[in-house]
Structure 1
Amino acid sequence: MKGFKQFLMRGNVVDLAVAVVIGTAFTAVVTSLVQNIFTPLIAAIFGKPDFSSLTFKINGSVFRYGAFLNSVIAFLSVATVIYFVVVLPLRTINERRARGQVPPEEDPVLTDEARLLTEIRDLLAVRQTNS
Structure 2
Amino acid sequence: MIKEFKEFIARGNVVDLAVGIIIGAAFTAIVNSLVADLINPIIGLLTGGTDFSSHYVVLKGEVPPNASLEVARNTGASVFAYGSFISAIINFLIIAWAVFLLVKGVNKLQNTVAKKKEEEAAAAPAGPTTEELLAQIRDELRATRA
Per the normalisation by structure 1, the TM-score is 0.62
How many residues matched? 113
Letter in 2 for 1:5: K
SS in structure 2 of the partner of residue 55 of structure 1: strand
Alignment match, 1:72: 85
Deviation for aligned residue 1:128: 2.9
- Out of 33, 58, 61, the residue aligned to residue 54 of structure 1 is 58
Deviation for aligned residue 1:18: 0.6
SS in structure 1 of the partner of residue 115 of structure 2: coil
Alignment match, 2:136: 126
Which one has a bigger Cα radius of gyration?
Answer: 2
Structure 1: any 5+ residue segments left out of the alignment? 108-117
Instruction: Kindly indicate whether structure 1 or structure 2 has the higher relative contact order, using CA contacts under 8 Å at least 6 residues apart.
Output: 2
Q: Structure 2: how far apart are the matches of 1:128 and 1:32?
A: 74
Letter in 2 for 1:74: S
- Is it true that 1:32 corresponds to 2:33 in the alignment? yes
Letter in 2 for 1:73: I
Q: CA offsets per residue over residues 76-96 of structure 1, 9 Å max, x none?
A: 111233355x25655776798
Deviation for aligned residue 1:34: 0.5
Q: Which runs of 4+ in 1 moved over 4 A?
A: 87-102
- Is it true that 1:103 corresponds to 2:115 in the alignment? yes
Deviation for aligned residue 1:53: 4.5
Deviation for aligned residue 1:2: 1.9
Q: Percent identity?
A: 33
Alignment match, 1:81: 94
Q: CA offsets per residue over residues 84-127 of structure 1, 9 Å max, x none?
A: 5x2565577679879999702255xxxxxxxxxx99x92x4214
Per the normalisation by structure 2, the TM-score is 0.57
2:55 touches 2:84 (CA, 8 Å); kept in 1? no
Q: Structure 2: how far apart are the matches of 1:33 and 1:127?
A: 70
